[in-house]
Amino acid sequence: MCFGHPSPSLHAQTSLYSSQVTCSCLHLHASFLGFGFVRSILLIPGNICRSPIAEAVFRKLVTDEKVENKWRIDSAATSTYEIGNPPDYRGQTCMKKHGITMNHIARQITKEDFQTFDYILCMDESNLRDLKRKSNQVKDCKATIELLGSYDPQKQLIIEDPYYGCEKDFETVYEQCVRCCKAFLEKPH
């Protein structure tokens, strides 16, 4: 069973370990001290606003920490209506303002994502319900599914969809993603 198309690798694999992140869902694979991988994915319905921002932020953070060779980063959508589209132009403008590169094309989450990732991080309760329902259809699902906002030191659990908002709303998503992704990276994996 497949929920969509597999994503292309966004980072070259390291010799022993790799990481993967996917938007709408963020997939993160990491290796620390040779103990194995941590795999995460950020999920939202369309994969053009919040998850590409989270993916780009996470990429920047691991690069700044010089651990990018331990992560393969990707993201995915729970729905199909934005598959093949680039991130929303307002999100791209926000990321450019912060000097962060966005290189993403929306894709749908797959059965394999649930089987290969340790974490699936999503943006709101609707995403969470959707993902848990999909994960119940997957044999050998190994993913822990949770809200990215659960890592927010400011306790903003939900990362609101900025699609119907203004540029300021994309900035708010960016700020939340920075806080949450930093806290996620600081967590022992």
> Which residues are designated catalytic?
50, 161
Q: Is 3 exposed, middle or buried (0-12, 13-18, 19+ CB in 10 A)?
A: buried
Task: Quote the CA–CA distance of 19 and 22 in Å, as a whole number.
Answer: 10
| Count of residues in the chain | 189
Q: Residue 168: enclosing H or E segment and its boundaries? A: helix 167-186
**Cα–chain-centroid distance for residue 49?**
11
